[in-house]
Amino acid sequence: MNLNDVLRASGPRRRRRRVGRGESSGKGKTCGKGHKGARCRSGWGGMLHREGGQMPLVRRLPKRGFNNARFRVGYAILNVQDLEKLFDEGDEVSPEAAKARGVMKKRDTHLKILGKGEVTKKLSVKAHRFSETARRKIEEAGGRVIEIP
């Protein structure tokens, strides 16, 4: 197949309208935008939610259906370097202990431990999730990892 064998797709092809090319072009002077007003200015358009005083469609329609927000599980994230700073040797790290230290926010219900940094203290860590590196680093330091179901 060569380029000269390719046929043009059938159907009409309208030429592009060249606006602002003089009065006799059919779209000269105001370029089809009329005289004055917002519509003739640059930047007008694209405001699909504006309905000129009428209550917008988005606000007229009822908000119904499923929303996952109330079922969302909030995870507070702690790195092992944070455990090193916040807790002493032999302490038990748990979501309650983290909340008492002000690390977990009110909406956070679960605790996840990540492996950034180093830990040298022997800690007993209870959390809902652990990354593999965090688990390894805590156990290498002589601590215990307890996963809360």
- Domains in the chain and their CATH numbers? 18-64 (no CATH), 70-147 (3.100.10.10)
Span 83-136, pLDDT tens digits: 888 888 888 888 998 888 888 888 888 999 998 989 888 989 999 999 999 999
Neighbours of 90 (CB within 10 A): 10
Span 27-45, pLDDT tens digits: 888 988 999 988 888 888 7
